[in-house]
Amino acid sequence: MENRRSVDVFWNQIVTNLSNGEYMTRLETGIQFHLPTYAHVPVPNLVDLAQKAEASGVRQIWVTDNLRSRNSFVVLAALASSLKIKLGTAITVQYFRNPVDLADMVASLSELMEGRELSIGLGFGNPRTYNWIKVPKPISFLRETSQSLRRLLDGESVCFADYPELLEYFNFNPKACFQLNFRPKSPVLQYCGSNGPLGLAVGGKNMEGLIFGGHYMAALRTGRVPSMIQAFDNASMESGRTSLAPKIAEIKISVSRDRKAAREFVKESSGTRVLNMYRQGYSREDIQNLGVNLEDVEKLDEADTAGVPPEVFDALVTDDMVDAIFIAGEPGECLERMIGVHNIAQSQGFHQLMFSELGPDVDEALGLLVDEVIPSL
């Protein structure tokens, strides 16, 4: 139970900091390396970027998980060997690794962390994940992954006959049980990366924190954030927790001296996310609250269904769609919007803003972010 005791110590410290008002002046800052976006950036350069962020006061580096990109845990190992701040996954896709494999990777990585928090976000991945793999019952799978991972990291023996979704998906022997022969050396906290009502309930009951993913800006406009936070907190309290869990808000940002380049860079991502909302049943009122014209979304949907080339798709993505998902533009423009977002996130109980995607030139974007945007929040 060594890891559980370490988690409790970190948990209590976060709660104490919140109670003492540590996060009332400025929220903690995190940077996410979106590895598919940075396919052109080798691991040593990612380490250099992370060191620059650390030197500027960034408190945590996160990495994404993607089948086609650099391995997230290899990147984290390189970062852990070079940095002195917290690290995490935002998120680890629950279908990519069985819990035993995930547990021994996490426990091994913790040996490089020197007592710092290692945050493991768990969730479903983006909709494109489902083009690559067979998807079982996602909510049951999330619950079983979280519970079995926690037990393994706590040194318990896990038999997957107790976890039917994992048993079938990963083809475990129902008679076999697994137990790690070593323990994590640093606190490992699980963060829920599922933001639907059922996923939030599972996360609140089984995990230590919440990552409000890349649709945070859109959820602000539609007014969904308070109810989603409440769903997580209710489940957390029902599980016996007596204090609020730490919460991370992912902020999609694209900053550059070249405003046009900053906005062009995120057109595909913005259009895809707006389409996902439209296809997942967002109401006409929700789409309007995004500040997006419904007819424009319908045109984009028709074009995407027809399989138009990327340049045609991007041409149909409007400025309103970009602004619904991203803060994008020159540093001053981004700062102006970020001040409002920071204050709202603070009032909603978030303790960290995690900036992701960053901009068309990652070196320039990170520099502008840590030198001109974050210090003025």
Q: Where are the domains of the chain?
A: 2-257+329-376, 267-325
One-letter amino acid of 108: S
Highest-pLDDT range among 3-17, 23-37, 238-252: 238-252
Sign of CA dihedral 81, 82, 86, 88: negative
CA dihedral 207, 209, 213, 215 (to 10 degrees): 110
Nearest CA-CA partner of 264 in 189, 331, 328, 220: 328
pLDDT at position 14 is 46
What token pair was written down for 276? 């996902």
Q: What is the mean pLDDT of residues 252-274?
A: 97
- Tokens 């680890």 appear where? 92
**Is it the case that residue 125 has pLDDT exceeding 90?**
no
SS3 222: helix
**Is it the case that residue 323 has pLDDT exceeding 90?**
yes
Q: Is 291 left (phi over 0), alpha (psi -120 to 50) or beta?
A: left
Nearest CA-CA partner of 216 in 74, 348, 311: 348
One-letter amino acid of 276: N
**Is it the case that residue 12 has pLDDT exceeding 70?**
no
Which H or E run contains 367? Answer: helix 362-368
**Is it the case that residue 321 has pLDDT exceeding 70?**
yes
Q: What is the mean pLDDT of residues 47-59?
A: 98
| pLDDT confidence bin for 4, thresholds 50/70/90 | very low
Query: What percentage of the chain has pLDDT greater than the value 90?
Result: 86
CA dist 246 and 15 (Å) reads: 8
Average pLDDT of every residue of the chain: 93
Give, as one character, the DSSP assignment of residue 293: -
Q: Per CATH, which fold does 2-257+329-376 belong to?
A: TIM Barrel (3.20.20)
Of 123-127, 157-161, 219-223, give the lowest mean pLDDT range: 123-127
Q: What is the mean pLDDT of residues 161-171?
A: 96
Give the global pTM: 0.92
CA dist 27 and 355 (Å) reads: 12
CA dist 146 and 128 (Å) reads: 22
CA dist 257 and 364 (Å) reads: 9
What token pair was written down for 200? 């939030």
- Do residues 252 and 357 make contact, with C-beta atoms less than 8 angstroms apart? yes
pLDDT in tens, 54-66: 999 999 999 999 8
What token pair was written down for 361? 């030139």
pLDDT at position 207 is 98
pLDDT at position 15 is 46
Q: What is the mean pLDDT of residues 77-97?
A: 97
**Planar angle of CA 206, 207, 212, nearest 5 degrees:** 125
Residue 249 Cα distances to 29, 203, 371, angstroms: 10, 15, 21
**Is it the case that residue 22 has pLDDT exceeding 90?**
no
pLDDT at position 309 is 98
Residue 88 Cα distances to 31, 293, 305, angstroms: 10, 37, 35
Task: 9-18: list long-range contacts, CB under 8 Å, 24+ apart.
Answer: 9/187, 10/117, 10/187, 10/189, 11/189, 11/208, 11/243, 14/246, 14/351, 15/243, 15/244, 17/351, 18/244, 18/351
pLDDT in tens, 131-146: 777 778 899 999 999 9
Q: How many alpha carbons fall within 13 Å on the CB side of residue 66? A: 15
CA dist 188 and 186 (Å) reads: 6
pLDDT at position 19 is 45
Of 3-7, 94-98, 250-254, give the lowest mean pLDDT range: 3-7
Residue 188 Cα distances to 87, 199, 306, angstroms: 10, 20, 45
Phi, psi of 94 (to 5 degrees): -65, -20
Q: What is the mean pLDDT of residues 20-46?
A: 86
- Tokens 């983006």 appear where? 126
**Is it the case that residue 300 has pLDDT exceeding 90?**
yes
Q: What is the mean pLDDT of residues 134-163?
A: 95
**Is it the case that residue 13 has pLDDT exceeding 60?**
no
